[in-house]
Amino acid sequence: MTTSGSGTATDTHCPYCALQCGMRLRPGAGAEPVEVLERPAFPVNQGALCGKGRTAAAVLRPGVRLTEPLVREDRDDRDAPLRPASWDEAFDRVAAGLTAAQRRYGNDAVGVFGGGGLTNEKAYLLGKFARVALRTPHIDYNGRFCMSSAAAAHRRAFGIDRGLPFPLEDVAGTDCVILVGANPAETMPPALRYFRELRENGGRLIVVDPRRTRTAEQADLHLQPLPGTDLALALGLLHLLIADGRADEDFIARRTTGFAQARAAAMAHWPQRVERLTGVPVAQLAAAAAMFGEAPRGMVLTARGPEQQSKGTDTVSAWINLCLAAGKAGRPGSGYGCLTGQGNGQGGREHGQKADQLPGYRSITDPAARRHVAAVWGVDPDGLPGPGRSAYELLDSLGTDGGVRALLLMGSNPAVSAPRAAHVTERIRALDFLAVGDIVLSETARLADVVLPVTQWAEETGTTTNLEGRVILRGKAVDAPEHVRSDLAVLHGLAARLGVPEGFPEDPEEVFEELRRASAGGRADYAGISYGRIRAEDGVFWPCPAPDHPGTPRLFLDRFATPDGRARFAAVTHRPAAEEPDDDYPLYLTTGRVVGQYQSGAQTRRVDELNRSAPGPFVEVHPVLARRLGVAEGELLAVTSRRGRAVAPARVTDTIRPDTVFMPFHWGGDGRANSLTNPALDPVSRMPEFKVCAVRVGPAAGE
Ligand code: SF4
């Protein structure tokens, strides 16, 4: 807590995206309990905030947020109204619902679904709760839908996964950046300054995106490929880099393995073939390869565009291959990185919330990892469950024979954010029992048997880890409403009712101290990080294995985190999207974000100022396509895929390809983009193919 000129203020971070902008809160004088102030001292955003951050306090209002537990009066009718209840009744109902499913169908009939917005402490304790209190393998989280392909490719190449292996400020000082399927102008506007500074310093920016986004408009070169062909594009650039003699043979020999196989795969993707596959002219491919190859230092940064594909892991590997072949990794000012999406997308995947991982980013199938974590938890390692179902597979199993029959869901809204969302909603409705912990009554919470109102952001203390691997501390600035409890207190109370009274502390710092021990020696090592250090240093980069270790802002400078210290090329080849356009569904659909909303919109759709800037869904169509369809700006369009239908007004723009339409995914109801998206999964990361599927489009009135 610090004191500002006009009252007591608390240093904290924005509740939304992975940039985790620093901000300061002081008691509010108006409708909101706190007022958001700039905090220029935090280095990442230096005081800048986007509209979401500036208005974040609106979600603290009692009329917006949940203020008391709710239970469904009629247990057999998911559409029956919810009524207020005491915490005792709510806890009893949740414990009874989970226990009944396990008695009837076995431990594996209960599942847990978490979120990438949960603090490190919550993510850690949720994983422990699933495996120790519920003894189920089935825990996963919505981060699987976010950056899991980048994580898998990162680990495959470098042996460790941290979104950015360098601070964001390094972007401004490099010579060339290829930004693939990333649109920070909409997703994290304060980060744009680093790209602007890059160009002011003489560096070049190449943007790869099927849409000419506001980010692409600032690029030196914009490559506009067909959705789902980013892998072929990367192979074509690698082909040209090698053919033009720009591969860094010395770096490849000293610091990598597997180049010969990757080279062979790339050489089969000659430029004319890549032009046919991607739609990007050979001349533009050659210009991009030369720009990147000639730059002394360079970076490739990906986001959801190449990652949310049924070949997302291989696609990211192809871009990493390009970095490695150009000698642009493992040295200052160069490297591959992923711009993570959710607020704690990085930390949320490090502490055991994933179906296949234990805290410290350890594999759940590794016997040594199981022994280490079991010792910290005080349980028998042989009693720890093995890997469970990945996020979509878990949701797809709900209410089925052999599937999950009772679900505890914290901080996620899959009724809007999951692929094939209408089907997922049906599966949720088929559950024997659903408990949801959230701050607002989301579309998913409305279907619950019990809704648990939990604390948010300004009402609690806890750590998150931003896209740079910087572990930071959110400070409590205001008390929560009387009948709201922290997620940690919820897990504490539920564990006690399930017969596990020890091991689930309510105090976040106590949980963090245990997390440090559980992570020690793991890939994401937090052992040397403490609340005291974070406060003193305004963030500490992992890995930080000891209290006297300075933390690691830049990874891989001496060696990569593989057993032999070398980065690994992956021999990947192009393959088409799981669903390509045909006579029945002749267009590509791609989905994404707008600056005024966040994720499923559960929070931001409740903020008036944001709704004025981003009031609802829309369908971007190229003027040529609009003429062919006979539709005008604002006319309602029906977009139909093999999985469902969505209706939204047309936005006619030449920033999109004529063969592709775009919808933002922040809304439920008739305009729910994820009613259309394809749950085809990447075989490695289990990421669904949100970014490309086949649709047909026509005036809604004509149907
Ligand atoms: Fe919050 Fe992200 Fe906006 Fe920063 S860029 S204010 S972290 S939503």
Map residue 618 onto helix, strand or coil.
coil
Domain ranges of the chain: 2-60, 70-145+344-541, 148-339, 587-702
pLDDT band at 702 (very low <50, low <70, confident <90, very high): low
Residue to mutate (ligand 1; options 52, 54, 456, 595; most atoms within 8 A of CB): 52
Residue to mutate (ligand 1; options 14, 23, 604; most atoms within 8 A of CB): 14
Please, are residues 321 and 159 in contact by the beta-carbon 8 Å criterion? Answer: no
Please, are residues 320 and 282 in contact by the beta-carbon 8 Å criterion? Answer: no
CATH number for the domain whose boundaries are 70-145+344-541:
3.40.50.740
Q: Helix H segments across 342-435?
A: 367-377, 391-396, 414-417, 421-429
> Does residue 15 surpass a pLDDT of 50?
yes
Q: Helix H segments across 3-139?
A: 51-54, 87-105, 120-128
17 in contact with ligand 1, CB cutoff 6 A: yes
Which sign does the torsion angle of CA 453, 456, 460, 465 carry? positive
Within the chain, what is the greatest distance between any pair of CA atoms?
71
Instruction: Classify domain 148-339 by CATH architecture.
Output: 3-Layer(aba) Sandwich (3.40)
pLDDT band at 125 (very low <50, low <70, confident <90, very high): very high
Q: Give the residue, by CA position, lying nearest to ligand 1 atom 3.
A: 50
pLDDT band at 200 (very low <50, low <70, confident <90, very high): very high
Q: Give the residue, by CA position, lying nearest to ligand 1 atom 6.
A: 53
- Element at 197 (helix H, strand E): helix 192-200
Tell me the C-alpha distance between 321 and 315, whole Å. 10
Buried b (16+ CB within 10 A) or exposed e, 572-609: bebeebbbebeeebebbbbbbbbbbbbbbbbbbbbbee
Tell me the ipTM for this assembly.
1.00
16 in contact with ligand 1, CB cutoff 6 A: yes
> Does residue 6 surpass a pLDDT of 50?
no
Q: Whole-number mean pLDDT of the chain?
A: 95
Map residue 206 onto helix, strand or coil.
strand
> Does residue 632 surpass a pLDDT of 80?
yes
* CA neighbours closer than 13 Å in the CB half-sphere of residue 617: 29
Length of the chain: 703
pLDDT value, residue 564: 97
Average pLDDT over residues 459-481: 96
184 in contact with ligand 1, CB cutoff 6 A: no
Place of tokens 């709510």: 90
**Highest mean pLDDT pick, 29-38, 388-397, 595-604:** 388-397
Q: What is the pLDDT of residues 528-587, one digit of tens each?
A: 999 999 999 999 999 999 999 999 999 999 999 999 999 999 999 999 999 999 999 999
Between CA 74 and CA 80, with CA 77 as vertex, the angle to 5 degrees is 65
Name the residue among 307, 337, 394, 346 with its Cα closest to residue 590.
307
Name the residue among 324, 309, 319 with its Cα closest to residue 236.
319
Calculate helix-pair angle for 367-377, 508-519, nearest 10 degrees.
150
Tell me the C-alpha distance between 192 and 422, whole Å. 35
pLDDT value, residue 2: 43
Name the residue among 122, 137, 173 with its Cα closest to residue 15.
122
Calculate helix-pair angle for 487-497, 87-105, nearest 10 degrees.
60
> Does residue 375 surpass a pLDDT of 50?
yes
Residue to mutate (ligand 1; options 16, 45, 183; most atoms within 8 A of CB): 16
Structure tokens at 285: 């491919």
Q: Give the residue, by CA position, lying nearest to ligand 1 atom 4.
A: 21
Name the residue among 140, 138, 139, 15 with its Cα closest to residue 65.
15
- What lies within 8 Å, CB to CB, of 669 at 6+ separation is none
Map residue 597 onto helix, strand or coil.
coil
Rg (CA), the chain: 24
pLDDT value, residue 7: 55
> Beta partners for 435?
408, 450
Structure tokens at 398: 């709900």
Name the residue among 369, 421, 402 with its Cα closest to residue 663.
421
**Nearest ligand 1 atom to alpha carbon 23:** 6
Map residue 637 onto helix, strand or coil.
strand
Ranking 32-36, 108-112, 312-316, 548-552 by mean pLDDT, the lowest is: 32-36
Tell me the C-alpha distance between 388 and 386, whole Å. 6
3.40.50.1820, 3.40.50.300, 3.40.50.11810, 3.30.200.210: which CATH number matches 2-60?
A: 3.30.200.210
Please, are residues 373 and 363 in contact by the beta-carbon 8 Å criterion? Answer: no
Average pLDDT over residues 581-598: 95
18 in contact with ligand 1, CB cutoff 6 A: no
Average pLDDT over residues 452-481: 96
Residue to mutate (ligand 1; options 13, 49, 457, 607; most atoms within 8 A of CB): 49
pLDDT value, residue 463: 98
**If you measure from the C-alpha of residue 23 to the centroid of ligand 1, how many angstroms do you get, rounded to a whole number?**
10
Please, are residues 617 and 663 in contact by the beta-carbon 8 Å criterion? Answer: yes
pLDDT value, residue 1: 42
Map residue 29 onto helix, strand or coil.
coil
Q: Which amino acid is at 90?
A: A
Q: What is the pLDDT of residues 334-348, one digit of tens each?
A: 999 999 888 898 998
Q: Give the residue, by CA position, lying nearest to ligand 1 atom 2.
A: 17
Fold assignment, 587-702: Barwin-like endoglucanases (2.40.40)
pLDDT band at 74 (very low <50, low <70, confident <90, very high): confident
Q: In this structure, what are the phi and psi dihedrals at residue 90, rounded to the nearest 5 degrees? A: -65, -50
Average pLDDT over residues 163-169: 96
20 in contact with ligand 1, CB cutoff 6 A: yes
**If you measure from the C-alpha of residue 458 to the centroid of ligand 1, how many angstroms do you get, rounded to a whole number?**
15
